[in-house]
Structure 1
Amino acid sequence: MASTGSQIMADEQQLQVLMARQPIYTKSQDVVAFELLFRDTDGNFVEGLKDEDATLGVLLGTYSSITKGGAVQSLPCFLKVTDSFLLNNDVPELPKQNFVLEILGHSDVTPEFIARVKGLAQQGYRLALADYDPRDPKFEPLLNIVHVLKLDIQLLGLDNIPALLQRLRTYQLELLADKVETQEEFRRCLEMGFALYMGYFLSKPEAVKGKKITGNKVVLLELLTEMQRPSATAQSIEQIALHDPALTYRILRVVNSAAFNLKREISSLSHAISLLGIDQIKRWVMLFLTSTDKTKPDELTRNMLVRGRFCELLAEMLGRNEPINHFIVGLLSQLDVLLDMEMEDLLSQVPLQQDMKDALVGRRGSCGELLQQVEHYERGEFEQLSRELDKPFYEVAYRHSLNWAQQVMLAMQQA
């Protein structure tokens, strides 16, 4: 069973940093690395890592982990580094295979700085350069040293990029398209031959007019409708689930998995409901509603799971009513992207309470407010976070949500 917010705060180590991660994708929208969004208590990028073995351990243990093909893998993290961090020669012993050091565009590119960057490359560190401005000659020496070049497509303008790529061909660089905000921008960058992609293009639906929810999603919606009825029983819910035996089997596989740590096997949905309660089964019905087909990348489902759990934990920590409803709102907040439907059209077919629909469409009410907090956190907009909670609570809740989502992805992939 899922731990409560107070249990998690008691069990988990509290760090004096805020960290979030942003995926870096390949052409096929697989995640191959994460950019680390990092602030210590003084608002610095990386200074908080210098003497913090605990932070480094959490970073390597949770923030770089991903579930792929039913197994857990560790991916490299892009870590933004300041001039002082590099030049003071006190870069901690970062495992080279786990980090890409990201040099910032406003760096003061002195001969000393170039020598230091070259030395790090010779030691085997992978290096990236952000905020590249083709009009500024200071970047030229770095292009022969770094491995990855980030190009901000919003700043440079998509129409100007083909000519720039021609000029960059002489350098042996892996090109990363940054700030890719729509599927159309992703397609254009794909045609230009970028190797890597960052941005929120996965969060934007490509709505298909008049589209209806189909397949086993219909059975899942019927289950949700029944679960909302005050007179619903374990038997009435099970009767609907039996319309799709394969789905019932998958739900039972997940409930019996390590994610629940049950002492004995559950053999029927009515048994599961009597043992765990309708809210827990509602959670798993929601999870299967959000599970993706092969046309959408796993990262979308993963992010929906993280959002759902993060919203729920914040609701518990703040003493809000109905944490399960906050979970559902966080989880469904990208269902429009998953199903390629406008959120309003989608919600007309999904049986949810009006306050939850208001949260999803207009970020209103308790659920909408906490969803907005979660969106700020995952974008690294830490200054926008509410002061109702101490900052370390956010990081612990986010970290727990990453781990929880990983467990659930494993269970769902094996079901």
Structure 2
Amino acid sequence: MSELHLVRAAGRRIEVRDSSGEDADPASAAQFVYLGRQPILDREGALNAYELLFRAGAHNYAEVTDDAQATAQVVARALGGIGVPAVLGQHRGFVNIDRAMLFDDIVHVMPPERFVLEILETVKFDAQLARRLTELRRTGFQVALDDVTELSDELLAMLPHADIVKIDFLQTGRAHLAELAAAMRGHGKTLIAEKIETREDFALARELGFDLFQGYFFARPQVLAAPRNRSPRPALLRLLALLSRDAGIIELEAELKLNPSVVVQLLRLVNSSAFGLGRNIASLREAIIATGTRQIARWAQLLLYADSGDLPWRADPLVQLAGTRSRFMELAAGWMRPADDEFTDAAFMTGIFSLVHVLLGSTPKAVLEKLGLAPQIREAIVSRSGPLGTLLRIAEAAGEGADAASIAIGPDAPPGFAALTPEVLAELNLSAAAWFGAHVEEAAA
């Protein structure tokens, strides 16, 4: 029997479980969302931060099969499912993040003063990643490098783009610890000793000048649980459709009122201190104004990612195809018109909605008319007309391995499409696949 404590935060019942066993009742577990957190302490033993960890149930281990989906669920549960005050209090949260999520606009749903982006050791460093990390740090995020075990050329290349280095005490040879720690201190990085399991390791880490400490010697992760709020995909898609055509507050308010679970999470998001408002938002209209439509769109997309449905996100071929296509179109639009954010956003939405009829078991025309989608997006999908329609045809061809470049230079292609050369299209296709986190072949396997 696991030890169970109850705390109340923001009027909501949150269960804190110190558990190493299985869920007592699997059926009951399906009605809750879970999140792990492990303390990160300073040199005096005071709480400094938490690392937030994916948990599928009350059992205290991860079961991560999809890094991007796990990150999406951790963020969704921390911000909307449970709430930042209950999860973090006044402290920061470290969130494991893979390459796909790093390049996703959704990352900005996290307030940078409350969350640290902990880069997984599997993320490969290159010039594109360097530019992205520079952008994220410029907006206020701190970047931590996870599971560092040795000095390497790749580590040294990443250091200018990171603020914190976490050194793995279980995997790093004792003979190299002092040299590694000294090198990181020499670069001005905050040092975290992770996987500290003995008093001797803690003493050694303090002696070597580490700033922060994490591991089983101090505390095992706690598991937080809260009642699950269902966010059905059709409702989220309708919300995204309204946002795509710049619907007014009255329309957004009316749609949100039909979906209480989304409203609950939106209000929790706004009230979570993520926006530094200094006051609680009680009404839906206030929440919409305070959050802003772009942030609501990010939140809806995050919930789509986090909602795995009947299949894990990366194992759902329809979700994979829509996600990869939408990212490809967004990248291509940005390549052609780098200063036109409206066109870029519309391209992403066109990709998202180009397969929604399959999700809802209907025809494109019928589904899109009911959603009240922006006319240029609707016409692009139904009749493949206009610049967005041409871009959709290019995305479809690129996704099927066909000659997409011939469409870009065809007689009916709008001005500017010739910039999508075969080389550019190949690079965009690869970037879109990396952003989504898996290839179609992996999803179908």
Measured against the shorter chain, the TM-score band is 0.3 to 0.5
* Structure with the larger RCO, 1 or 2 (CA within 8 Å, 6+ apart): 1
